Amino acid sequence: MSSVLALSNKFLAELSTAFRVLSVDISASVNTLFLRDQQRPLHEFQPHMFTVVV
């Protein structure tokens, strides 16, 4: 039983690391998009660019 618990803890730790990396990637690309689109009005900004496939 304890080995299952250790395995799930390891899995959760790796999962949270992956999500942290993913969120950093997302925020970096969002910042890039906003910097690129600053000369454009905000209502022309396409929200579908933010779609994240997990």
For the stretch 3-50, pLDDT in tens is 888 899 999 999 999 888 888 888 888 888 777 766 555 555 555 555
What is the reported pLDDT for 47?
55
What is the reported pLDDT for 13?
92
What is the reported pLDDT for 37?
62
What is the reported pLDDT for 42?
53
Instruction: Supply the DSSP string of 1-54, one letter for each residue.
Output: -HHHHHHHHHHHHHHHHHHHHHHHHHHHHHHHHHHHTTTS-GGG--GGGG----
pTM reported for the whole predicted model = 0.43
